[in-house]
Amino acid sequence: MAEAPAVFIGILVLCCWIAVANAEYKIYQDPKQPISKRVKDLLGRMTLEEKIGQMTQIDRLVASEEVMKKYYIGSMLSAGGSGPPPTASPQTWIDMVNGYQKGSLSTRLKIPMLFGIDAVHGNSAVYRATIFPHNVGLGATRDPELVKRIGAATALEVRATGIPYAFAPCIAVCRDPRWGRCYESYSEDPKIVRAMTEIIPGLQGDIPANSRKGVPFLAGQQKVLATAKHYVGDGGTTKGINENNTVASRHDLLRIHMPAYYDSIIKGVGTIMISYSSWNGVKMHANRDLITGFLKNTLRFRGFVISDWQGLDRITSPPHANYTYSIIAGVGAGIDMIMVPYNYTEFIDGLTSLVKNNFIPMSRIDDAVKRILRVKFTIGLFEHPLADYSMTKYLGSQEHRELAREAVRKSLVLLKNGESANKPLIPLPKKASKILVAGTHADNIGNQCGGWTIQLQGQPGNVTVGTTILTAIRNTVHPETKIVFNENPHPGYVKSNEFSYAIIVVGEPPYSLTFGDNTNLTIPDPGPSIITNVCASVKCVVVLITGRPVVIQPYLAQIDALVAAWLPGTEGQGVADVLFGDYGFTGTLPRTWFKTVDQLPMNVGDQHYDPLFPFGYGLITEPVRGN
Ligand SMILES: *[C@@H]1O[C@H](CO)[C@@H](O)[C@H](O)[C@H]1NC(C)=O
Ligand SMILES: *[C@@H]1O[C@H](CO)[C@@H](O)[C@H](O)[C@H]1NC(C)=O
Ligand SMILES: *[C@@H]1O[C@H](CO)[C@@H](O)[C@H](O)[C@H]1NC(C)=O
Ligand SMILES: *[C@@H]1O[C@H](CO)[C@@H](O)[C@H](O)[C@H]1NC(C)=O
Ligand SMILES: *[C@@H]1O[C@H](CO)[C@@H](O)[C@H](O)[C@H]1NC(C)=O
């Protein structure tokens, strides 16, 4: 008899305990729960407003703690140059990112926002970061393992600024160098681009062998989420016009532009960005067959699909002509996160109304939000929403600069070396009485880095910390060798001085995106006249700093040695390492070098193939001791 009240009290206590625990315990907040359960639990708690907020990515320029909180914004970005002042410290970046994050963490469900940045050749918008060669140069190395290490270094430098998400790599297969983004492509050959997807395990970490195909992956808080872009056919547009139309059979699309996506998905890439371009006249941002049908259903990609910057607006021409239509077409095609990036209220109101009026089914919204939440849980964002300063030491570290220098050395392609193999000019003697260094790109970090460096378009001059090629030459020659730098020397000056030899560094100015589209591919003035003026009276090496092959045939006979250095980044020492023979030349062309632009497009394997230097060309030299 005395036991009954005890049992009763016991049950009562248990009930109370469960009630209290229920108030506090939420499956989605428990890191021990499987991700699928956490996603399901959280999605079940969300209102339409909260779901649509998750799908919205805004630029830093319009963000504030208040905005993050009020609109439940799921993601934000710092687009080329939209950040703290150009020379801001990593601590300033972290404070900025954490500030916005506090807005997100103060919402009802405390879903952290995901911050992304265009870390396309290192954490390239940030002052003092290590700037690695642009992808075309990495293609010349033919060294996927090196590219993987660059991915790992980039991840550390991105985390150094409190950011967990990089809009990289670009796995475009550029088929026409007139395209302004051609340097973002590793090669015209899909096999090389496929191999270079090793940057993904560099950025995100190695996916375990037993992982399910297509499931996003991140190895920990020293890694960053990657983006394979731009899906699909971005490098195949007519005449290389940026964002234009890729005319190709389905067979050619799958053969040339698609294969690197298979590799990226197998390697666990978390996100895929859609291309502005069209395929046979259909905007990729509206291509349901290729996004939902092929990418999500056939390839079983389980990460999220993100639009490009104002990608929905550009579905119509002119852009933003009918935003309602754009939202239906883009979200309907299967895009999960929308890089809006400014007028978020227009997007949020538009999408909300379309869902409420059944133009877009709730199942589409749930698919998008599930994918976004899956990625956020995968990368540990709920457990680690705020960055601390412990990783700032990685930004521009000596170790990373050494790695970039190695990449520069391996990216250089020697196209000509003296009149014949038994009269080589390279390796250049370190000991000489007087060497002339000339050219617009010899002492210019900004030119050497190219576009996507600090600013979106890049910028000539002292934009960040690094070693110019001139400084590298000075560091390398014998102490008694006199180096004379004259950017654009007068022909008489060259003639009247007795230079042992000359090193000319010329090329393209920095550019990115459509601003880089170019139909003549000539080296801008005064590059050509510097070559002709100097090479007329002294033995000369020409080092080209360009994002692509350029018109060089008219000057080739005058040039004694020719090096394609692409866009090497901050570590110019790598150029001198190889010119003076401390290391040999090993790079080979990742692209076909045309004779004249009217041959374009011309790619390896074409029936009519008459290049100046074929794809894969490159003279190999041995290192020399005691030079
Ligand atoms: C491609 O470029 C041409 C010339 O600028 C333009 O008229 C056309 O609309 C573009 N096509 C697409 C799909 O962007
Ligand atoms: C915009 O697109 C919507 C959806 O396709 C359509 O109903 C509407 O008529 C269009 N508006 C204009 C002004 O063309
Ligand atoms: C955002 O879009 C709305 C709806 O089209 C428009 O009324 C508003 O002026 C836009 N705001 C900005 C800042 O462009
Ligand atoms: C960059 O800075 C260096 C050292 O401060 C200076 O020698 C050089 O002239 C500067 N270059 C440019 C292009 O401003
Ligand atoms: C080549 O094209 C670029 C980009 O359109 C242009 O700025 C430049 O003036 C052109 N150069 C020549 C020599 O036509």
Mean pLDDT, rounded, for 204-214: 95
Span from the CA of 336 to the centroid of ligand 2 (angstroms): 22
pLDDT (0 to 100) of residue 371: 98
Confirm or reject: Cβ of 241 under 6 Å from ligand 1. Answer: yes
78-95 pLDDT, tens per residue? 998 788 998 999 999 999
Peptide bond into 134 cis (omega under 30): no
Closest ligand 5 atom, residue 520 Cα: 1
Question: Given a cut of 60, is residue 296 above it in pLDDT?
Answer: yes
Q: How buried is 514 (Cβ within 10 angstroms: 0-12 exposed, 13-18 middle, 19+ buried)?
A: middle
Question: Given a cut of 70, is residue 23 above it in pLDDT?
Answer: no
Question: Given a cut of 90, is residue 343 above it in pLDDT?
Answer: yes
Under 8 Å between Cβ of 347 and 307: no
Under 8 Å between Cβ of 350 and 324: yes
- Which residue, judged by its Cα, is nearest atom 3 of ligand 2? 325
**How many Å apart are CA 472 and CA 570, to the nearest integer?**
11
pLDDT (0 to 100) of residue 1: 42
- Which residue, judged by its Cα, is nearest atom 10 of ligand 1? 244
Residue 547 corresponds to which tokens in the numbers above?
Answer: 């994002």
The β-bridge relationship of strands 278-279 and 282-283 is antiparallel
Residue 324 corresponds to which tokens in the numbers above?
Answer: 């309602």
State how far the alpha carbon of 338 is from the alpha carbons of 33, 59, 75, 115, in Å: 29, 11, 9, 13
Span from the CA of 343 to the centroid of ligand 3 (angstroms): 6
Under 8 Å between Cβ of 470 and 485: yes
118-144 pLDDT, tens per residue? 999 999 999 999 999 999 999 999 999
**How many Å apart are CA 591 and CA 594, to the nearest integer?**
9
Closest ligand 4 atom, residue 460 Cα: 13
Question: Given a cut of 60, is residue 6 above it in pLDDT?
Answer: no
**How many Å apart are CA 585 and CA 579, to the nearest integer?**
8
Confirm or reject: Cβ of 280 under 6 Å from ligand 4. Answer: no
Ligand 5: residue of 241, 519, 522 to mutate (most ligand atoms within 8 A of CB) is 522
**How many Å apart are CA 70 and CA 73, to the nearest integer?**
8
**How many Å apart are CA 243 and CA 232, to the nearest integer?**
11
HSE (side-chain half, CA atoms, 13 Å) at 414: 26
**How many Å apart are CA 305 and CA 296, to the nearest integer?**
9
Mean pLDDT, rounded, for 512-525: 98
Domains of the chain: 41-394 (3.20.20.300), 412-599 (3.40.50.1700)
Q: 3-class DSSP state for residue 1? A: coil
Confirm or reject: Cβ of 320 under 6 Å from ligand 3. Answer: no
Q: Model-level pTM greater than 0.75?
A: yes
Confirm or reject: Cβ of 343 under 6 Å from ligand 3. Answer: yes
Which ligand is nearest to the Cα of residue 317, counting in written order?
A: 1
pLDDT (0 to 100) of residue 421: 80
Task: Work out the widest C-alpha separation in the chain, in whole angstroms.
Answer: 119
Which ligand is nearest to the Cα of residue 324, counting in written order?
A: 2
- The candidate with the shortest Cα–Cα distance to 229, out of 182, 288, 184, 274, is 274
Closest ligand 2 atom, residue 359 Cα: 4
The β-bridge relationship of strands 271-274 and 227-231 is parallel
Question: Given a cut of 80, is residue 572 above it in pLDDT?
Answer: yes
Any idea which of 15-19, 327-331, 417-421, 581-585 has the lowest mean pLDDT?
Answer: 15-19
**How many Å apart are CA 233 and CA 245, to the nearest integer?**
9
User: What angle is formed at CA 22 by the lines to CA 16 and CA 26, rounded to 5 degrees?
Assistant: 165
| Beta-bridge partners for 413 | 564
- Which residue, judged by its Cα, is nearest atom 2 of ligand 2? 325
Closest ligand 1 atom, residue 283 Cα: 13
362-392 pLDDT, tens per residue? 999 999 999 999 999 999 999 999 999 999 9
CA dihedral in degrees (271, 192, 140, 515; nearest 10)?
-50
Under 8 Å between Cβ of 311 and 319: no
State the residue for tokens 């939202």: 327
For the chain, the residue count is 627
Peptide bond into 318 cis (omega under 30): yes
Average pLDDT, the chain: 96
